[in-house]
Amino acid sequence: MNLTDKAWITTAIKCLIRKRQKAFNQQNDEVWKRLRNKVIHSIKIAKKAHYANKVQQLKQENSAKWYKELKSVCNIAKPPSSIHVPNVDPADHQAVADGINKHLSSVSQQSPPVCTEDLPAYLPAPAPPPQIQPWEMYNELNRIRVRKAGGPDGIAPRLVKMFACELADPLADVFNSSLKEGVVPTQWKEAVVAPIPKELPAVVDKLRPISLTAIFAKICEGLVAKWVTSDVWTNIDRRQFGAIKRSSTTHCLSPPPPPPITLGGKPLLAVVVAKVLGIWLQSNLKWDKQVCESTKKANKLRARNFEGKEEQPLPKICYQHGEIRENCRPVAPNPTSITWT
């Protein structure tokens, strides 16, 4: 056995592989095919046993490790990728990382920093900033998704949710003090940036930065965003679809719903099918419902002749549905489509 062997490979499987290769080298096709099928079957059984004994329980205990082991079992390997930075040796990973950081930070460094003294219309504020109560902070901490990745602070979301009751009071004080003083803690400004290439081969000009910030910073940013959105919501244009919750480009491309029709100040209920003066009307301007109801009623009728004989069923009327759908109007029954029973 070698260190590079897969976890499910056993000595029996390796022995079969050697016998298969020996039969192949000897050009013994019958033995080689039999051993080939036996090797494939043995590997499948070994993989299933390995997953049941070593991998399956990781799905609840450690989802990241479970996914890693699952990719190993399925032989899914991601090819190594390198990002080309001009005038930097690709083998020097630290220099490549510094080049990427310099390029990403250059976007924000092009503009001068905002000076609060240049905002006389907003500062000083006429009212104090809103305050968050400990129980509100507890509710926010209790809604954390434990499967989310942690930030540069190294605090796991599962740990924060577990001790939400103990962390609610001090975190609320820190957040309220930050709003009152207008200063964001330095640790909350840090982020772990993962550069995701937009295209291959990856170049430094075609990167999408994915930032992993501190878990406490994301909670406080969400609270501020909620307050700001509630204040400006009435001033947002109805044609705004970006950065709006439960809104996407699909809503932008789809036509807006028609305004409701009112009668006597009350909106009328929109229906698909309605019966008016004995006629079934459909919203798609077809007559399928009317044809079905008329045919059903005609087939139930019975006629009595004047001599007192027994009932004779009327002919079953078969309308030509295709012609009705094409002309969008009811037509008389075709005599050739009348059948007697």
DSSP code per residue over 37-101: HHHHHHHHHHHHHHIIIIITTHHHH-HHHHHHHHHHHTT--PPP---B-TTS-TT-HHHHHHHHH
115 or 214, higher pLDDT: 214
**Token pair recorded at residue 239:** 């044609």
Query: What is residue 161's predicted lDDT score, i.e. its pLDDT?
Result: 92
> Is residue 313 classed as helix, strand or coil in its secondary structure?
strand
* Percent of the chain residues topping a pLDDT of 90: 18
The mean pLDDT value for 282-294 works out to 81
Query: Is 39 within 8 Å of 17 (Cβ atoms)?
Result: yes
Question: Above 60 in pLDDT, residue 332?
Answer: no
CA distances to 45, 81, 157 from 3, rounded to whole Å, are 21, 25, 35
166 or 231, higher pLDDT: 166
DSSP code per residue over 93-149: HHHHHHHHHHHHHHHHHTSPPPPGGG-TTTSS-SSPPP---HHHHHHHHHT--TTSP
Query: What is residue 333's predicted lDDT score, i.e. its pLDDT?
Result: 45
310 or 121, higher pLDDT: 121
Query: What is residue 314's predicted lDDT score, i.e. its pLDDT?
Result: 43
Q: Please give the Cα distance from 50 to 287 (Å, whole number).
A: 62
What is the band of 120 on the pLDDT scale with cuts at 50, 70, 90? low
Judged by average pLDDT, the poorest of 78-87, 90-99, 117-126, 237-246 is 117-126
Q: Please give the Cα distance from 267 to 264 (Å, whole number).
A: 8
Mean confidence (pLDDT) of the chain: 79
Judged by average pLDDT, the poorest of 63-77, 142-156, 302-316 is 302-316
Query: What is residue 80's predicted lDDT score, i.e. its pLDDT?
Result: 66
The mean pLDDT value for 191-208 works out to 86
Query: What is residue 301's predicted lDDT score, i.e. its pLDDT?
Result: 64
* Percent of the chain residues topping a pLDDT of 70: 82
**Token pair recorded at residue 134:** 């400990």
pLDDT tens for residues 8-57? Answer: 888 899 899 999 999 999 988 899 999 999 999 999 998 888 888 888 88
**Token pair recorded at residue 165:** 């009751």
**Token pair recorded at residue 43:** 């590997």
308 or 62, higher pLDDT: 62
What is the band of 123 on the pLDDT scale with cuts at 50, 70, 90? low
pLDDT tens for residues 53-64? Answer: 888 888 888 878
Q: What DSSP element (H or E) covers 275?
A: strand 273-276
